Structure 1
Amino acid sequence: MERKRIAVIGVGQIGKHHLDEYKRIGGVDIIAVCDLNETEARRVAEQYAVPHVYTDFRELLKRDDIDAVDVCLHNNFHAPVTIEALQAGKHVYCEKPLAGSYCDGAAMVEAAKETGRMLHIQLATLYQSETKAAKTLIDGGKLGKLYHARSTGFRRRGRPYVDGYGTPAFTRKETASGGALYDMGVYHIARLLYLLQLPQVTRISGQTYQEMEMLADRRATSQFDVEELGIGLVKFEGGLTMDIIEAWAVQLDGFEGSSIVGSEGGIRLPSQHQDALPMTYHFTTCDIDMDTVIHLAAMEKRRHLLNEHEWAYDSSQGHWIAALNGLVPLLPTAELALQTMLISEGIYMSSTLGREVTADEIIAASVSTAIRL
């Protein structure tokens, strides 16, 4: 496999995680890092043996020895940096969510098409064993006609900054645009869209909440103005539906795992609370209702023994490196992320207006939230 030359833009918590993952995967040379905080950028460059440091990403993009850039910035910075990188001839790997608004996300996807460059979004749940098993069962017709899905995401008290981790930038519309739906919901919603084969949204209704107490000093410092809980119902073409509940904080002990049901079977993915249940497959045979546990470890072992490039589906960054080398086709992560943006923005719009909204309304009303560096 040819070694790919990559630059990382943003060396905060997520940027460092990406650098660690590149080191673990291998096959990559990190040519440069860029951050407005020059002191931290130089410290990180020294830690990871990166030869070049920038504080202006546009200067970095002038380099002709970079194959791709990895954008690890807050949501509202994604679109401007990604679009300029694509236009500079670089492939782009961008953190989730796609952007701060559907409008900006659509511009990113269009820029990738116009430039002929690859745009890959970090959607880690697509590479989990349960996602692979679910897709295999669905593709094999074991669920029959799919008609409903449920997307769940749970944290008891896991709001960024106010509950003890992360920075206030996660909790402000100014930099993040959204809360639980944008931060965590993207993983769960995008995975179900992938398993449902990216159906077209028609109508959305939803409600957002920020009701739980938080420490007064943390509230003041964070300027917390995004949702801690998002609820939604999505209708797709053909009658398919999906309900959504995504919590940064909620006074419960957990949610059931996400699920998909069809005319001949159903699957439930593992839940996220402490006593997580395994992935299960439900069907009827010989007039007997069957509830079965999927042996994910055995599935993974067999796939890795039989398939030369199975490793390319073990992680988002591993998939990125394999796709850059032409070993596997890039999964449609940008399109999945864009539809996820449409759904999340639709829930926000419905919550504000107090009624169901159409996909066309959401697209027409979406405005840029991009912040240019």
Structure 2
Amino acid sequence: MHSNKQIRLGIIGMGKVTVQRHIPSISSINNPHVQLLAVADAKPGLAAKIAEDLTIPYAFEDYKQLLAMDEINAVSICTPTFTHATIAIDALQAGKHVYLEKPATMNETEMREVMKAAKESGKVFIVGSNGMLQNQMLMFKRMIDNNELGEVFNVSITRSYPRSADSSKRKTIGGDGISMESASHNVEWALFFLGDPKPVSVTGVGYYKYDNISIPLEQREADEVDDCSLALIQFDNGSSFMYKAMRSAAAPAEYEVSIQGDMGLIKYDVNKCYKEQSDDCIRIYTQHEAGHLSETRPLISCGKTHAAMYKHFFECIAEGKESYISNGERSVVVMKVLDALKLSMKNKGKQILLD
């Protein structure tokens, strides 16, 4: 940071991800100008216990009490997705800088409302786009921009998770299922790598597979959400994004990214990178003029996903600048795509054309 501006942070939402990832990431930055001053969670006693355990000065059950603190000038919102828009707008209108965890909102309309509040507030607003500032992601982007892969025409991402808690199965708790939770990150990655093309069509199918029963998404109960999502997004420049995510597949955990150009291919194993197996997490294939294919495995320190984004957030506040990587504008496009994906899934994979 180039400023001595004190950042007094409050975190709203004390779930597992907050405690295991967000708070340790903030601490790891070790910035003397950043203080975690308060936490809030609607669950009785939870924020108070965490505050006591971590020696955080203030704890609240009502997030509005946290926002009312004049000492707090920045907040991180880590609550369930369906609460994001309301809390983010309240925080911006209270004059706080805002870090908003993904999925940013439930739909495009909410995202536009949050963006309107952000612009009117004049405060720093960042969507927590995990991974976007990691070393390997920036390296891939440089390679693409330097034409090292030739014309990049497709990004493909496959993710699978072990069975998880019941919270993911209900819209009122888990948002809109795996199609929202996972694709909100990965559609943004695709847009980033492809140069922010305009999406023109979305086709997707979704299922939920609880208790080994496979039921098409259009036949689900009103409050159930998908745990298997497959999608194809096409863009105005002819490029495309293919995506598959499964929460309860009978398969090992998997998270693989492929970036395909007409002269090269990047294959990125995200899970291996997170486990710091840096000698085998990235493979780059390039086609030479002589016709032969070469493979390289770059050694790179991947870094921590949340820490890099929080560091960027704090720098933007200290320097009074807008985020160049995740200021919310791309999230409007992401939510537009996800709205179309949900509509396609509800209509048996019908292709949805976008304006």
1:1-373 matched pairs, under 5 angstroms = 1=1, 2=4, 3-16=6-19, 17-27=21-31, 28-155=34-161, 158-161=162-165, 168-211=166-209, 213=211, 225-252=224-251, 257-270=256-269, 272=271, 278-297=281-300, 300=301, 315-326=308-319, 330=323, 331-354=325-348, 355-360=350-355
Residue ranges of structure 2 left out of the alignment (5+ in a row): 214-221
The 1:341/1:160 distance shift into structure 2, 3 A limit, reads farther
Deviation, structure 1 residue 194: 1.4
In the aligned structure 2, how far is the partner of 1:224 from the partner of 1:353? 17
* 1:198 alignment partner AA: D
Contact 2:154 2:260 in 1 (8 A): yes
Residue ranges of structure 1 left out of the alignment (5+ in a row): 162-167, 216-222, 302-309, 361-373
Deviation, structure 1 residue 224: 7.5
The 1:47/1:314 distance shift into structure 2, 3 A limit, reads closer
Aligned sequence identity (%): 22
Q: How many residues are paired up?
A: 336
Aligned partner of 2:219 in structure 1 is: none
The 1:38/1:211 distance shift into structure 2, 3 A limit, reads closer
The 1:281/1:89 distance shift into structure 2, 3 A limit, reads same
In the aligned structure 2, how far is the partner of 1:291 from the partner of 1:74? 45
In the aligned structure 2, how far is the partner of 1:272 from the partner of 1:289? 30
SS of 2:333's equivalent in the other structure is helix
SS of 1:257's equivalent in the other structure is strand
Contact 2:107 2:338 in 1 (8 A): no
- By percentage of residues, which structure has more helix? 1
The 1:169/1:212 distance shift into structure 2, 3 A limit, reads closer
Deviations 1:240-278 (A, max 9, x none): 111111111223457682212223322222264899953
The 1:45/1:191 distance shift into structure 2, 3 A limit, reads same
Deviation, structure 1 residue 5: 0.8
The 1:170/1:333 distance shift into structure 2, 3 A limit, reads farther
* 2:60 alignment partner AA: Y
The 1:253/1:34 distance shift into structure 2, 3 A limit, reads closer
Contact 2:130 2:305 in 1 (8 A): no
TM-score by length of 2: 0.85
CA RMSD, aligned part only? Answer: 2.9
Deviation, structure 1 residue 68: 0.7
TM-score by length of 1: 0.81
Range with bigger deviation, 350-359 or 206-215: 206-215
